[in-house]
Amino acid sequence: PRVKNLSANDCYLYQGFWYDSLFLERLMSAQDHFIPLSTDIFITSCPKTGTTWLKALTFAICTRSRLSGSSASSLLTKMPHECVPLLEYDLAQNPLKRDCAVPLVSTHVPYSSLPKSIISSCCKMIYICRDAKDAFVSLWYFIADMQRSKNVEPVSLEEAFELFCSGISSYGPYWDHVLGYWRASLEFPEKILFLTYEEMKRDTAAHVKKLAEFMGCSFTAEEEEEGEVQKIVSMCSFEKLSNLEVNKNGMHSLDTSYAVKNSVFFRKGEIGDWENNLTPEMGARLDDIMEQKLKGSGLKLPR
Ligand code: A3P
């Protein structure tokens, strides 16, 4: 099946999830050909749940020892998506298109459709998700922006909401995406770290330490004393990243059908912005759907 209006391209249902045509073909190629490095750590998420932030944090954490004296982080001049390649785009056809010294690869691919080579590897994964209402609102702004830039009439919020509630969204159904990684994290807790945007926002410093520990590069006592954790928190804050020239005025383009301003990845960066965009009835409806879908899984997403 195929639907329009979800992105600037058509979207297709494949193995139970919806994909933009731009990524689907490459995902299929990655499923057959991608081989991870044993040191790879996968940054996994459904779109609009905090991927850009998580990429920035993990990149800053694992490159910190390279930075001394005058060498500044690449995050000051490169968009986080340029620092961490996307499996189903950057690496599907050209696995070598990466800085192998940075052991990070990102993907939005649901757990059940990941290349078998990743599932059977010892590679660690970090998953981030978010309240469905905020994820939906963020996604709608993103899609509308992308459609406007292609001179396509933007999908209305109401129409996109109906689609989202019926499971049709980029890499959705959203709940199935979350559940796939949640269940895998229960099965392989040492391999998969399951995080939420809300928890990370509420105590970013504790999460920076947790991430470093999980990634096998804990902060030393000396680093902690020198304020290294706080430096990373500040460097990757919404305030800091969204005001960098590259993120304010640069463009993120994968090919002619996908070009957006980097600034669309930095919209508000807040918890609960859905209230400014959805009616209370819409909010309650999506909450009910999520509650139903997550029932019995042991997962309760923070709001
Ligand atoms: P909003 O649209 O609610 O503002 P993704 O990176 O997965 O595409 O998610 C984008 C969401 O993360 C956007 O949410 C964006 O503003 C927010 N975001 C981007 N950078 C962030 C940061 N450094 N800190 C907190 N939130 C950030």
Does residue 47's CB lie within 6 angstroms of at least one atom of ligand 1? yes
CA 142 – CA 297 distance, rounded (Å)? 30
Does residue 63's CB lie within 6 angstroms of at least one atom of ligand 1? no
DSSP alpha helix (H) spans, 166-299: 174-187, 197-202, 204-214, 221-225, 228-235, 238-242, 245-249, 280-294
Does residue 237's CB lie within 6 angstroms of at least one atom of ligand 1? yes
Looking at the CA of residue 52, tell me the nearest atom of ligand 1.
6
This prediction has a pTM of 0.95
Cα dihedral: 272, 275, 281, 283 (round 10):
-20
Q: What is the DSSP letter of 130?
A: -
Helix, strand, or coil (residue 92): helix
As a whole number of Å, the end-to-end CA separation of the chain is 33
pLDDT of residue 295: 97
Please give the structure tokens belonging to residue 245. Answer: 């020239």
Cβ atoms 48, 111 nearer than 8 A: no
Ligand 1 centre from 282 Cα, in Å?
22
Catalytic residue among 33, 81, 108, 177: 108
Q: Which residues pair with 103 in a beta bridge?
A: none
Please give the structure tokens belonging to residue 286. Answer: 């999506």
Which has the closest alpha carbon to 269: 295, 247, 245, 287? Answer: 247
Cβ atoms 200, 50 nearer than 8 A: yes
pLDDT in tens, the chain (303 residues): 667 666 666 789 999 999 988 889 889 989 988 999 999 999 999 999 999 999 999 999 999 976 655 567 899 999 999 999 999 988 876 666 677 778 999 999 999 999 999 999 999 999 999 999 999 999 999 999 888 888 888 889 999 999 999 999 999 999 999 999 999 999 999 999 999 999 999 999 999 999 999 999 999 999 999 999 999 999 999 999 999 999 999 987 776 666 788 999 999 999 999 999 999 999 999 999 999 999 999 999 987
Cβ atoms 8, 90 nearer than 8 A: no
Does residue 51's CB lie within 6 angstroms of at least one atom of ligand 1? yes
Q: What is the pLDDT of residues 252-269, one digit of tens each?
A: 777 666 678 899 999 999
Q: From residue 133, how far is each of 164, 180, 265, 283, 301 by CA, in Å? A: 10, 19, 17, 7, 11
**Other Cβ atoms within 10 Å of 130 Cβ, number:** 26
Ligand 1 centre from 221 Cα, in Å?
31
108 is an active site residue: yes
Ligand 1 centre from 51 Cα, in Å?
7
Ligand 1 centre from 36 Cα, in Å?
27
**Which CB contacts under 8 angstroms, 24+ apart, belong to 231-237?**
232/57, 232/60, 232/61, 232/64, 232/208, 233/204, 233/205, 233/208, 235/56, 235/60, 235/73, 235/75, 236/53, 236/56, 236/57, 236/60, 236/75, 237/204
Does residue 138's CB lie within 6 angstroms of at least one atom of ligand 1? yes
Q: What is the ipTM of this complex?
A: 0.99
Q: What is the pLDDT of residues 274-298, one digit of tens each?
A: 999 999 999 999 999 999 999 999 9
**Other Cβ atoms within 10 Å of 189 Cβ, number:** 10
Mean pLDDT estimate for the chain: 92
Looking at the CA of residue 201, tell me the nearest atom of ligand 1.
25
Radius of gyration of the chain, Cα coordinates, nearest whole angstrom: 18
CA 243 – CA 247 distance, rounded (Å)? 7
**Residue 25 CA to its chain's centroid (Å):** 20
Atom 17 (ligand 1): residue with closest C-alpha? 269
Burial of 101 by CB count in 10 Å (0-12 exposed, 13-18 middle, 19+ buried)? exposed
Q: Which residues make Cβ contacts (< 8 Å) with residue 54, sequence separation at least 6?
A: 43, 45, 126, 128, 195, 200
